[in-house]
């Protein structure tokens, strides 16, 4: 082979090699050249005053994660039965660690219960279900998670683009490098796993140090979870969910129909479901059938149950939080 041809082939090989490496390893594909990223950069630069140069530098580092796309396609709340789901979250270990967390932060939890009307055990259970009391806050960079879902998950791209913008705004407000925070595969952060819009809307400075930190500050995290529930309408002293029985011929069409309570207890009683005599008939509820360890279980979800589902839109999640909270409270007493 003549020398000029050899040199040309060597140059071509050197140019193609990095592209082949990227194709072989999709986890190294960044979002700097993604067409949708350019559109997003222009929007937030024009509307929110970010530097396009700075945004391009950040997205040159943001990496597509196939593992995130895989995880979001099979969430436990949609693939597991109640029996399987409960075994993950309502365990002796999580109950005992919840008692330890309560003991460590009992003054803060008592204050939060007084300030917001949310029981301490519910706050503890949320943090327990979300991150095992701060031990597992996530392993993905938030910018990678949100970019992957904003630009390569068409099913919910609009939602995650909004969250990506919220994350950039949050980083600017908190004076954080957006390349550093880590969280869940869906971009949720801190002890209580707040998505960026929830962080900006509901996280609070609960220890008075003039900085809102739910990543590393359990006091702010406790206050923020309580504030979230209060802002979503938690009613102090009211029931959350009660067991019911289904009579023969009950109306199956209303089972698992909606997370939001919309049928009065009087109507549910007439539809073949037992109703606790202590509950007023004009209160509304939703009726659920869950597949438990011993077969079908029937439950009435009341207003506060619905509030828990505002944290995660799943009846399995809300039931796990509630039952964990009750087990913690019972064992602690």
Say whether pLDDT at 21 is over 70: no
Q: What is the pLDDT of residue 2?
A: 54
Of the pLDDT bands very low, low, confident and very high (cuts 50, 70, 90), residue 25 is low
- Take residue 71 and report the two structure tokens written for it: 């995880």
Q: What is the pLDDT of residue 282?
A: 85
Q: What is the pLDDT of residue 279?
A: 84
Of the pLDDT bands very low, low, confident and very high (cuts 50, 70, 90), residue 14 is very low
Q: What is the pLDDT of residue 11?
A: 46
Q: What is the pLDDT of residue 10?
A: 45
**Residue (of 330, 242, 326, 256) closest to 288 by Cα position:** 256
Q: What is the pLDDT of residue 27?
A: 58
Q: What is the pLDDT of residue 78?
A: 83
Max Cα–Cα distance, the chain, nearest Å: 96
**306 Cβ contact list (under 8 Å, min separation 6):** 259, 260, 261, 286
Which of 130, 163, 166, 327 is flagged as catalytic?
130
**Span 257-275, mean pLDDT?**
95
- What proportion of the chain, given as a percentage, has pLDDT over 70? 92
Q: What is the pLDDT of residue 15?
A: 44
> Do the beta carbons of residue 280 and residue 287 sit within 8 Å?
no
**Span 121-141, mean pLDDT?**
98
**Span 112-140, mean pLDDT?**
98
Q: What is the pLDDT of residue 77?
A: 85
> Does the annotation count 180 as an active-site position?
no
pLDDT tens digits, one per residue of 283-326: 999 999 999 999 999 999 999 999 999 999 999 999 999 999 99
pTM of the predicted model as reported, rounded to 2 decimal places = 0.90
**Span 75-100, mean pLDDT?**
95
Say whether pLDDT at 181 is over 80: yes
Q: What is the mean pLDDT of the chain?
A: 92
Number of H helices, E strands in the chain: 16, 6
The angle formed by the CA atoms of residues 49, 171 and 174, to the nearest 5 degrees, is 110
* Strand duo 182-183 + 295-301: pairing: unpaired
Say whether pLDDT at 79 is over 90: no
């Amino acid at each position: 082979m003549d020398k000029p041809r050899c040199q040309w082939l060597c140059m071509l090989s050197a140019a193609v090699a990095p592209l082949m490496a990227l194709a072989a390893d999709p986890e190294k594909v960044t979002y700097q050249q993604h067409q949708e990223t350019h559109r997003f950069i222009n929007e937030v630069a024009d509307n929110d005053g970010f530097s396009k140069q700075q945004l391009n530098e950040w997205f040159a580092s943001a990496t597509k994660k196939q593992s995130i796309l895989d995880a979001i396609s099979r969430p436990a709340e949609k693939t597991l039965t109640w029996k399987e789901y409960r075994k993950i979250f309502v365990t002796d270990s999580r109950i005992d660690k919840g008692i330890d967390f309560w003991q460590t932060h009992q003054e803060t939890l008592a204050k939060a219960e007084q300030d917001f009307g949310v029981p301490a055990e519910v706050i503890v259970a949320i943090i327990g279900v979300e991150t095992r009391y701060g031990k597992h806050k996530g392993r993905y960079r938030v910018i990678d998670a949100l970019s992957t879902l904003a630009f390569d998950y068409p099913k919910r791209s609009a939602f995650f683009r909004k969250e990506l913008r919220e994350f950039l705004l949050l980083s600017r407000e908190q004076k954080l490098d957006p390349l550093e925070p880590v969280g869940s595969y869906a971009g949720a952060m801190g002890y209580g796993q707040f998505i960026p819009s929830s962080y900006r809307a509901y996280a609070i400075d609960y220890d008075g140090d003039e900085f809102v930190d739910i990543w590393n500050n359990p006091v702010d995290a406790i206050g923020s979870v309580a504030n979230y529930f209060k802002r979503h309408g938690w009613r102090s002293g009211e029931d959350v969910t009660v067991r019911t029985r289904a009579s023969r011929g009950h109306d199956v069409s209303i089972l698992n129909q909606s997370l939001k309570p919309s049928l009065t207890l009087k109507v549910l009683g007439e539809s073949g479901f037992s109703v606790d005599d202590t509950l007023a008939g004009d209160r509304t509820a939703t009726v659920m059938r869950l597949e438990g360890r011993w077969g079908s279980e029937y439950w009435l979800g009341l207003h506060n149950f619905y509030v828990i589902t505002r944290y995660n839109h799943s009846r399995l999640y809300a039931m796990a939080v509630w039952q964990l909270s009750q087990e913690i409270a019972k064992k602690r007493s």
